[in-house]
Structure 1
Amino acid sequence: MIAEKFLAKNQMVFCAFMDLEKAYDRVDRDLLWQILNSFGLSAGLIQALESLYRDCSACVRINGVYSDWFDIHKGVRQGCVASPWLFNLFMDSCLQNLKVEKCGLRMGELTVKCLLYADDQVILASSAAELQMMVTLMNGSLKERGMKVNASKTKVMVFEREESKTICEIRIEGELIEQVDEFVYLGCVFSRDGRYDKDIERRVNAKNRVNGALHSIVKSQNVSKKARMAIHNAVVVPTLTYGSESWVWQKKHESKINAVEMRSLRSMLGLNLNDRVRNCVIREECGLQDDVVTRIKKGMLRWFGHVERMNEERVTKKIYVAEVNGRVGKGRPRRKFIDQIGDLLETGQIRSTLNRRGCMRRCMDVKEARAVCQDRQMEICSLCLPLWVTGVSVYGMV
């Protein structure tokens, strides 16, 4: 969404996807306790956490043979429920130097400098020079705390609308960082042009790999149809729809996703295209009310409602409502997420609830949908119940 807003105003976004080497194992525990104290945690709680890490030792098993035991003085415990919280606080302290600098992307009154999920971090800047300064500052902050940036896995990308590629040379301690046209971050593909084609293609390919892995199971005569559909809903569909709530897609994407789902369902029923069985009959046989495209559209509307109701102080909401300064570039404006929501409201025949007579003639617009999102208890008469052609009511939207 950040790239979408800047590209709409014909501005570039410079990104550095920084990878940390053995991040969890490099946490300095003595420094961690000091950081917890600086955040205001009570002495008793800090002592309790320290007791979990006191006298830690481990050994290595190789081919059934155990090595000698050795003490461990660094890192957080793998699998412990407290470890993610401790690591997040540790990483937050690494961002302190970055917070005081006047840099990053300006979005209205908000400045976005870094996106951080565990050890997966993205540095955002408005120019190559600014990005170099921020990367150097972040690398120094991490190095002071015993962390190490893996320069070979760290990548740089520039979001831009122009076909000609802008060169962005970023170095970490003299080593040139590779610039890429696409990058997988948190399981989603981000492309330099800001489009979702590569991410959708990746989802389709992942779904095909899952189908191949499950082929022997779904083809087995010992597995009931109910079990096959349970596998389909629990494994196949989530693989295909991961991250789809924020997609901005086209008709060709809908057709591709729908086709790959039908191929899977035909395989489960032992059918092929030569059998000439209609898609609606196959879904009815499988007990599916909605196809995967409809599920994705529902997810988009749910995400829209979720963000609309979000607290105004949350960063996600601030980015969602923020406006970027600049002029719209030449040519046809790109479709944005909010444009797609408007299309879903119209093509899904979610009718207006403003009055009994008017709601029979026109569909709900985005402005009214936002009001509905804020008021879940809105009274709607039976004639005004906004139904999708697929049977989704207005409450399915929120």
Structure 2
Amino acid sequence: MLLFICNKILQTGVWPKSWTQSIFITLPKKGSLKLCQNYRTIGLISHPNKIMLKAILNRLKPEAEKIMADEQAGFRPGRSTLEHICNIRILMEKYLQYQQELHNVFMDFKKAFDRVWHEALRSTMRKYNINSNLISVIENMYNKATRAVFCNNKIRDWFRTTVGVRQGCLLSQTLFKIFLERILTDALEDHFGTVSIGGKPITNLRFADDIDGLAGNECELANLVKQVDKASSNFGMETSAEKTKIMTYSKESSKKERKINGQILECVTKFNNLGSIISDEGSKPEILSRIAQTTAALTKLKPIWNNKNMVVNSNSNSKIRLLCSLVV
């Protein structure tokens, strides 16, 4: 029966009503619970719907892979954060060695996934020649999608939205990357970067919505930020000046902030990018941080090392197995 329904959706594009509904629950965060911003919302969708979404995702991913730039490493087969971390460290060492300027701008969008404009998403998929049947199925799902908030043990009124990818939907990450690809393609169309990796000019490194813009001088940096701001606003997106940070690898730079495109952007000396601490002095802070984390973890195991009842007399000894797992 489930297979019949899924095939029918692919053929006609018509979705069961319950499969297009999302119920939102709220989870408290730190701070005063009287403030709305101190709650995190989670969207719940039906399990049969997720099976259908997985089938669509398997068809959508190969289409999306054809249009993704090499700079995008987020949630792609054979890609991870390691490549970008390695690339930025190699660039950093190269520019520091030759005493050249290298500017990083870590850009952040305000409510990125919640501001994807549905109509622009549809036109973007058509522009990239994604399978028309897939577009129709996804379009019909969003046209009928409704949401409700679960509050005080009661489901409130259902409502529709015209922006934002569905929370909890398996397609959301891929749809967002397609949408972001359109924005950055438009933004970088007339932008010429001077930074290169292996002889190939590179203007940014990105993992989903985490964007690290690269520039060889301040004018190039300002132009990059302006172009991304302009293209983003054309598609209903907005960069966050508060969360966007600039880092410069240069002995002469000592600015605490820069004004670009009418916005004040903070200059930082270190930044946690993709789980790795990057600093304007090189990799030393990251190395020290990892040594400290390792030392703290091993210190917690001190009672095991000092336990005389755990005798080293066989291959099954806990101390030996622990040593092998940590060191060998």
Structure-2 separation of matches of 1:181 and 1:5? 18
Matched residue SS, 2:213: strand
Letter in 2 for 1:262: L
CA shift, 1:173, in A, is 4.2
Instruction: Name 1:141's counterpart in structure 2.
Output: 231
Structure-2 separation of matches of 1:199 and 1:43? 47
Counterparts in 2 of 1:47-58, with a 5 A limit? 47-58=136-147
Question: Which is higher, the Rg of structure 1 or of structure 2?
Answer: 1
Instruction: Name 2:170's counterpart in structure 1.
Output: 81
Q: Among residues 226, 251, 263, which one is paired with 2:299 in the alignment? A: 263
Matched residue SS, 2:322: coil
The answer to whether residue 44 in structure 2 is matched with residue 44 in structure 1 is: no
TM-score by length of 2: 0.64
CA shift, 1:108, in A, is 5.0
Matched residue SS, 1:49: helix
Structure-1 separation of matches of 2:311 and 2:183? 57
The answer to whether residue 91 in structure 2 is matched with residue 2 in structure 1 is: yes
Change (3 A) 1:108 1:265: closer
Instruction: Name 2:282's counterpart in structure 1.
Output: 194
CA shift, 1:168, in A, is 7.2
Structure-2 separation of matches of 1:65 and 1:286? 55
CA shift, 1:118, in A, is 1.2
Instruction: Name 1:106's counterpart in structure 2.
Output: 196
CA shift, 1:172, in A, is 4.5
Instruction: Name 1:150's counterpart in structure 2.
Output: 240
- Greater strand fraction, Structure 1 or Structure 2: 2
CA shift, 1:151, in A, is 0.7
Change (3 A) 1:172 1:61: farther
Instruction: Name 2:321's counterpart in structure 1.
Output: 287
Instruction: Name 1:93's counterpart in structure 2.
Output: 182
Contact kept in structure 1, 2:305 and 2:319, CA below 8 Å: no
Structure-1 separation of matches of 2:150 and 2:169? 21
Counterparts in 2 of 1:250-329, with a 5 A limit? 257=294, 259-267=295-303, 269=304, 271=306, 285-290=319-324, 292=326, 294=327
Change (3 A) 1:157 1:278: farther
Change (3 A) 1:202 1:79: farther
Instruction: Name 2:218's counterpart in structure 1.
Output: 128
CA shift, 1:99, in A, is 4.0
Structure-1 separation of matches of 2:271 and 2:135? 38
The answer to whether residue 108 in structure 2 is matched with residue 19 in structure 1 is: yes
Contact kept in structure 2, 1:156 and 1:168, CA below 8 Å: no
Matched residue SS, 1:263: helix
Name stretches of at least 5 consecutive residues in structure 2 with no aligned partner.
Answer: 1-89
Structure-2 separation of matches of 1:62 and 1:271? 52
Letter in 1 for 2:299: R
Q: Among residues 171, 174, 180, which one is paired with 2:259 in the alignment? A: 171
Contact kept in structure 2, 1:128 and 1:168, CA below 8 Å: no
Instruction: Name 2:57's counterpart in structure 1.
Output: none
Matched residue SS, 1:70: coil
Kindly report the root-mean-square deviation, in angstroms, between the aligned alpha carbons of the 2 structures: 3.0
CA shift, 1:117, in A, is 1.2
TM-score by length of 1: 0.53
Contact kept in structure 1, 2:222 and 2:261, CA below 8 Å: no
Change (3 A) 1:2 1:99: farther
Contact kept in structure 1, 2:106 and 2:246, CA below 8 Å: yes
CA distances 1:36-61 after superposition (whole Å, capped 9, x unpaired): 11111121111011122122121223
Contact kept in structure 2, 1:139 and 1:172, CA below 8 Å: no
Change (3 A) 1:201 1:63: farther
CA distances 1:351-388 after superposition (whole Å, capped 9, x unpaired): xxxxxxxxxxxxxxxxxxxxxxxxxxxxxxxxxxxxxx
Letter in 1 for 2:169: C
Letter in 2 for 1:285: K
Name stretches of at least 5 consecutive residues in structure 1 with no aligned partner.
Answer: 208-256, 295-389, 391-398
CA distances 1:320-345 after superposition (whole Å, capped 9, x unpaired): xxxxxxxxxxxxxxxxxxxxxxxxxx
Structure-1 separation of matches of 2:268 and 2:217? 16
Equivalent pairs, count: 236
Contact kept in structure 1, 2:256 and 2:266, CA below 8 Å: no
Matched residue SS, 1:53: helix
Letter in 2 for 1:30: E
CA shift, 1:204, in A, is 5.4
Structure-2 separation of matches of 1:159 and 1:20? 24
Structure with the larger RCO, 1 or 2 (CA within 8 Å, 6+ apart) = 2
CA shift, 1:150, in A, is 1.0
Matched residue SS, 1:143: helix
Change (3 A) 1:278 1:188: farther
